[in-house]
Amino acid sequence: MPTHEVLNQPPPLQNYDPLALDTALGEGVRREGAGWAEGEVHELGLRAASPEMLDQGRLANENPPKLKTHDRFGHRIDEVEFHPAWHELMRFSMSHGVHAGPWREPREGAHVARAAKMMLVSQTEYGHGCPISMTYSAFPALQKEPKLLEEWGPRIKSLEYDARFLPAAKKTSALIGMGMTEKQGGSDVRANTTKAEPQGQGTHALTGHKWFCSAPMSDAFLVLAQAPKGLSCFLLPRWTGQERNAVRILRLKDKLGNRSNASSEIELDGAQARIIGEEGRGVQTILEMVNHTRLDCVIGSAAMMRHALLHSLHHTRHRKAFGKLLREQPLMQAVLADLALESEAATALMLRLARAYDRRDAEAPFRRMATAVAKFWVCKRAAPMVAEALECLGGNGYVEESGLPRIYREAPLNSIWEGSGNVICLDVLRALNKEPEARDALLEEIHLGRGADRRLDAAIDAAEARLVKPQEAQARSLVESLALVLQGSLLARFAPPCVSDAFCATRLARDHGFTFGTLPSGLDAAAILARAFPA
């Protein structure tokens, strides 16, 4: 319409260099042993931020998957149909090894490099990260069963996405999903009622249901079921030989967000499955998978925070109000700097945690505790942070086209799945009580920051005091304090003084209000912002 000229609107956020703009990510990748992968991460990032890939992300969410239970003749088919954009996203991430890089080429920094890639592809689109993550995470659990690993390992490691619904033996690659949660219990998996009847030679027939089964078009799932000796872990393929296995997809969930990803309810009607690990020790077996998906929850939430921050920094660099760019207004600077602190702390913790997955044996005790602590805290911080970042865009942020509503709807999810907040905090208490070496390893890492800042030292003392006889009802405040001193220790050692000083003042000495942007005076917000978005 020729009624007006469009003024004071920012250009679209696309065609940027996500690694170059994310100083904390780039420094962290080098620090945590993956400097060798910088070129690959950089290349992936450029493509991830291209208008073409960002559009695939939009299309995959605007055109959610459809369940086809029957064909036109009435035969059951139990297939989910995805928009081509979904397949393109899967192809992109798999071609860069986000689903299997460290298993293809195990080396120092491989999990860190993969974490950085996951962080960047997540910013293109979050939903497809679910099957990517479950496939990555299933591999170490399969290592407990060499015969199954021999059969499935090469398919998992393939870089070629194969979307065809065929027996796995006919495909170039395979995706793996997970089935633990049932109607009567998700956190309490010991309440699982799905039965596993032995058929001989390690094969069982599974009968029961799974209330949440994301990525039902995966080629196989790791599921829990009650065998004669107790809850056990099984590999359940979608096909047995040339036949479809007895896996019925009943419904797809109508979810708050994560709309590109099909999350289903399934029934198993004597479905054929192979046992993994020892019968009766299913929880211990599947935990290997769960821990890796928990790492991915931390990566995903760190990605959401960075992504939302980037949108708010970009918008406020271009948008003027009251005669000045928003970014130059002192109160907006306080909000943006506060968001940048939260994002950098999440990124630093996420990368340090990923490194513990590289040091499989040496850092097992640290990984045990840090996975739970980081899963609770980083995932919990995503939702409030995304909400505040969205407001930086004003009304535009509330409009679907901005992309922020998609991140906002996604933000609570990582805190729910793979162990909801309370369950994770109770897990930390369990580890504190039963695994003193895990507690010591966490404290050892935290203590590396001692002496750098008196506020950090005081917060470490206070967190340690809480470790004496921790009570169940106080588990959240205990885990929160451990997470904060761990982040503080990392930032005190590795971030520039403007960041660590502000983190210690606001998160450790608690000179901060209940909302983002309540920074005390005397902090260098401009320096924090210059780091978060280098010009």
Ligand X SMILES: Cc1cc2nc3c(=O)[nH]c(=O)nc-3n(C[C@H](O)[C@H](O)[C@H](O)COP(=O)(O)OP(=O)(O)OC[C@H]3O[C@@H](n4cnc5c(N)ncnc54)[C@H](O)[C@@H]3O)c2cc1C
Burial letters 17-38, b for 16+ CB under 10 A, else e? ebbebbbbbbbbbbbbbbeebe
* Smallest separation, CB 26 to ligand X (Å): 31
422 contacts ligand X (rule: CB under 6 A): yes
343 contacts ligand X (rule: CB under 6 A): no
Q: Which is nearer to ligand X, 239 or 417 (CB)?
A: 417
For ligand X, which residue has the nearest CB? 186
* Smallest separation, CB 209 to ligand X (Å): 11
- Within 370-389, which residues bind ligand X (CB under 6 A)? none
Residue whose entry in the numeric block shows the structure tokens 């999810």: 413
80 contacts ligand X (rule: CB under 6 A): no
214 contacts ligand X (rule: CB under 6 A): yes
Residues 6+ apart with CB under 8 A from 75: none
**Cα angle 223-225-228, degrees, rounded to a multiple of 5:** 145
Q: Which part of the chain contacts ligand X (CB under 6 A), choosing from 4-12, 179-187, 323-331, 479-487?
A: 179-187
Q: What distance in Å separates the CA atoms of residue 22 and residue 26, rounded to the nearest whole number?
A: 6
| Single residue of 124, 135, 263, 347 touching ligand X by CB under 6 A | 263
Q: What distance in Å separates the CA atoms of residue 15 and residue 18, rounded to the nearest whole number?
A: 9
* Smallest separation, CB 97 to ligand X (Å): 22
178 contacts ligand X (rule: CB under 6 A): yes
Cα dihedral 267→152→186→360 (10° resolution)? 180
Q: Which is nearer to ligand X, 337 or 424 (CB)?
A: 424
| Single residue of 213, 275, 336, 486 touching ligand X by CB under 6 A | 213
How buried is residue 42: exposed, middle or buried, by Cβ count under 10 Å (0-12/13-18/19+)? middle
Q: Which is nearer to ligand X, 214 or 500 (CB)?
A: 214
Q: Which part of the chain contacts ligand X (CB under 6 A), choosing from 206-214, 340-348, 351-359, 461-469?
A: 206-214
| Single residue of 61, 135, 181, 487 touching ligand X by CB under 6 A | 181
* Smallest separation, CB 23 to ligand X (Å): 32
Residue whose entry in the numeric block shows the structure tokens 């050692």: 493
420 contacts ligand X (rule: CB under 6 A): yes
Residue whose entry in the numeric block shows the structure tokens 């996203």: 89
Q: What is the 3-state secondary structure (H, E, C) of 244-310?
A: ECCEEEEEECCCCCCCCCCEEEEEEEEEEEEEECCCCCHHHHHHHHHHHHHHHHHHHHHHHHHHHHH
194 contacts ligand X (rule: CB under 6 A): no
Q: Which part of the chain contacts ligand X (CB under 6 A), choosing from 17-25, 33-41, 360-368, 419-427?
A: 419-427
485 contacts ligand X (rule: CB under 6 A): no
Q: Which part of the chain contacts ligand X (CB under 6 A), choosing from 49-57, 348-356, 415-423, 526-534?
A: 415-423
Q: Which is nearer to ligand X, 240 or 420 (CB)?
A: 420
185 contacts ligand X (rule: CB under 6 A): yes
| Single residue of 140, 202, 421, 470 touching ligand X by CB under 6 A | 421
Q: Which part of the chain contacts ligand X (CB under 6 A), choosing from 113-121, 255-263, 385-393, 446-454?
A: 255-263
* Smallest separation, CB 290 to ligand X (Å): 9
Q: What distance in Å separates the CA atoms of residue 8 and residue 228, rounded to the nearest whole number?
A: 68
| Single residue of 91, 144, 255, 281 touching ligand X by CB under 6 A | 255
| Single residue of 179, 208, 237, 517 touching ligand X by CB under 6 A | 179
Residue 296: which of 237, 187, 226, 375 has the closest Cα?
A: 375
Q: What is the DSSP letter of 76?
A: E
416 contacts ligand X (rule: CB under 6 A): yes
| Single residue of 50, 95, 187, 203 touching ligand X by CB under 6 A | 187
Dihedral of CA 162/165/167/170: which sign? negative
Q: Which is nearer to ligand X, 185 or 496 (CB)?
A: 185
* Smallest separation, CB 157 to ligand X (Å): 22
- Alpha carbon of 533 to those of 147, 313, 327, 336, 433: distances in Å? 49, 7, 11, 11, 43
Q: What distance in Å separates the CA atoms of residue 451 and residue 431, rounded to the nearest whole number?
A: 27
Burial letters 310-322, b for 16+ CB under 10 A, else e? bbbbbbbbebeee
* Smallest separation, CB 475 to ligand X (Å): 9
Residues 142 and 235 sit within 8 Å (Cβ to Cβ): yes
Q: Which is nearer to ligand X, 116 or 236 (CB)?
A: 236
Residue whose entry in the numeric block shows the structure tokens 């009570």: 471
Q: Which is nearer to ligand X, 129 or 186 (CB)?
A: 186
* Smallest separation, CB 208 to ligand X (Å): 13
136 contacts ligand X (rule: CB under 6 A): no
* Smallest separation, CB 212 to ligand X (Å): 3
- Alpha carbon of 175 to those of 213, 252, 486: distances in Å? 13, 19, 34
Residues 380 and 415 sit within 8 Å (Cβ to Cβ): yes
199 contacts ligand X (rule: CB under 6 A): no
Neighbours of 421 (CB within 10 A): 17
Q: Which structure tokens are listed for 217?
A: 């078009």
474 contacts ligand X (rule: CB under 6 A): no
* Smallest separation, CB 182 to ligand X (Å): 8
| Single residue of 82, 136, 152, 212 touching ligand X by CB under 6 A | 212
* Binding residues vs ligand X (CB under 6 A): 177-181, 185-188, 212-214, 255, 258, 263, 413, 416-418, 420-423, 426
